Amino acid sequence: MGSTLHDVARIAGVSIKTVSNVVNNYPHVRPSTREKVLSAIEELDYRPNLSARGLRSGRTGVIGLAIPELRQNYFAELADSIIRAADAHGVGVVIDQTSATREGELAVLSGERLRLTDGVLFSPERLGQDDVNLLNVGFPLVLLGERIFGGPTDHVTMRNVESARAATEHLIGIGRRRIAVIGAHPVNQDDIRSANLRVRGYREALDAAGLPYDTTLVRTAAPWHRENGAVAMRRLLEDGVDFDALFTLNDTLGLGALRALGEAGVRVPDDVAVIGFDNIDESRFSVPSMSSVDPGRDEIARVAVDTLLSRIHEKGEPAPPRQILADYRIVGRESTGFSEPIEAEPPRPSPPWRNPLAVERVTRGPGARRAAPRNRASARRADALRSAHVTTLADGRHKRG
């Protein structure tokens, strides 16, 4: 079935190494030779055997993405973005679902489940700060999310505190004063995790506006699924707490809460204004459409893939671990009194289909110490990310701050 370099070499009447040189775009091949080889490749429909290439080169051209569950919208959209970003480099993605269990996450770090991959993007949900030393694994690893900070690996994440503060300020800005929160962590509220960081941002906004921090307004919910958003909202209503706005720590909780508000006959945004977090596609289409924080998922995906690949190709002394933060923006929709028309399907650029034979290769400068081009590019992008954030309001204005 599959033909090999040998077959091509025989047909083209050259040595197997010459064929390899042609396939790998080695520059010093006589045009006439290249031509012969290419037509033999064509004739035999030759495809390089990636197992052999992987064995020889130590690289497979596949990275792993370890996430809790694809059926959570946030992760499906993240995976989508990451697969696109990886595809732009000709790299494949194996998805590993940890089912949000500690066991599953440990299995990721142990490398058992690392199948044929050159490195892993890992978004833990159960592991926490105490497990930071487990991150010293023998393969390139880039961390996503908020569970662990200051570890030995690169880390790409979002500005949780600042963006949660901005979300709260968005609610304060439309005149709300009693702002409930759903999604706080039930147990350890000092732990570093999205929930606590976002609550901190919420609190900072209250403080800055001179509003009191009322613990009866801050509700726990875990995991962040619709069900639990609905349950928390029902409790909030049952308890008779007075509130005029709601900040849910992610969108799915918000959609559940919206549902419970609807059942209870509470009007949104008239009685209660609602903002979520994540800006998943779905939030645009709830009734009413839900305002949200867009944490910059595409940028996170792009930067995470770039960072991982540069680690995979890194030579010599490893650079110190980097932490990279993406931009965020506030998206105002009906649930906070902004209206946004539903337009037809926004076009999504399809990836350019690439030369299927070539290997992605990092040019090695003579110094070899210096970071490869892609490294510098992503470092530059990272700097750009660090430098500014932009808040976009629904009316399209941009506010640099």
Q: Which residues bind DNA (CB under 7 A)?
A: 2, 4-6, 14-18, 20-21, 23-24, 26-30, 32-33, 46-49, 52-53, 55-57, 359
- At position 163, the amino acid (one-letter code) is S
The one among 9, 46, 61, 290 contacting its own copies by CB under 8 A: 61
Residue 281 lies near its own copies (rule: CB under 8 A): yes
In angstroms, how far apart are the furthest CA atoms of the chain? 85
Token output for 131: 């497990």
Q: Chain-centre distance of CA 31, in angstroms?
A: 44
Q: Please, are residues 364 and 30 in contact by the beta-carbon 8 Å criterion?
A: no
Pick what 238 binds: its own copies, DNA, none; C-beta below 5 to 8 Å, kind-dependent: none
Q: What is the dihedral of CA 261, 267, 271, 275, to 10 degrees?
A: 60
Pick what 376 binds: its own copies, DNA, none; C-beta below 5 to 8 Å, kind-dependent: none
Residue 390 lies near its own copies (rule: CB under 8 A): no
Residue 71 lies near its own copies (rule: CB under 8 A): yes
Shortest Å distance, C-beta 363 to DNA:
13
Pick what 29 binds: its own copies, DNA, none; C-beta below 5 to 8 Å, kind-dependent: DNA
Judged by CB under 8 A, the chain residues 5 through 34 that form the site for its own copies are: none
Pick what 18 binds: its own copies, DNA, none; C-beta below 5 to 8 Å, kind-dependent: DNA
Closer to its own copies by Cβ: residue 133 or 350: 350
Residue 358 lies near its own copies (rule: CB under 8 A): no
Pick what 94 binds: its own copies, DNA, none; C-beta below 5 to 8 Å, kind-dependent: its own copies
Piece of 7-15, 257-265, 270-278, 365-373 that binds its own copies (CB under 8 A): 257-265
Pick what 281 binds: DNA, its own copies, none; C-beta below 5 to 8 Å, kind-dependent: its own copies
Residue 96 lies near its own copies (rule: CB under 8 A): yes
Residue 368 lies near its own copies (rule: CB under 8 A): no
Judged by CB under 8 A, the chain residues 173 through 232 that form the site for its own copies are: 223, 225-228, 230-231
Alpha-helical segments (H) within 226-288: 226-238, 251-263
Pick what 262 binds: its own copies, DNA, none; C-beta below 5 to 8 Å, kind-dependent: its own copies
Piece of 7-15, 178-186, 188-196, 347-355 that binds its own copies (CB under 8 A): 347-355
User: CA geometry: angle at 393 spanning 392 and 395, to 5°?
Assistant: 120
The per-residue DSSP string of 7-67 comes to HHHHHHTS-HHHHHHHHTT-S-S-HHHHHHHHHHHHHHT----HHHHHHHHS--SEEEEEE
Q: Please, are residues 194 and 158 in contact by the beta-carbon 8 Å criterion?
A: no
Residue 360 lies near its own copies (rule: CB under 8 A): no
HEC string of 298-309 equals HHHHHHHHHHHH
Indicate the length of the chain as a whole number.
Answer: 401
Q: How far apart are the C-alpha atoms of 183 and 91, rounded to whole Å? A: 36
- Build a one-symbol-per-residue string for 297-326: x at contacts with its own copies by CB under 8 A, - elsewhere: ------------------------------
- Cite the beta strand spans of 153-223 per DSSP E: 154-158, 179-184, 218-220
Nearest one of 152, 158, 168 to 194, comparing CA atoms: 158
Closer to DNA by Cβ: residue 45 or 317: 45
| CB-count exposure of residue 387 (10 Å: 0-12, 13-18, 19+) | exposed
Q: Are strands 179-184 and 141-144 parallel, antiparallel or unpaired?
A: unpaired
HEC string of 335-369 equals HHCCCCCCCCCCCCCCCCCCCCCCCCCCCCCCCCC
List residues binding its own copies (CB under 8 A).
1-2, 47, 49-52, 54-55, 60-62, 69-71, 73, 76-77, 79-80, 83-84, 87, 92-97, 99, 101, 103-104, 107, 110-113, 115-116, 138, 223, 225-228, 230-231, 255-256, 258-259, 262-263, 281-282, 284-287, 289, 342-345, 348, 350-351, 353, 356
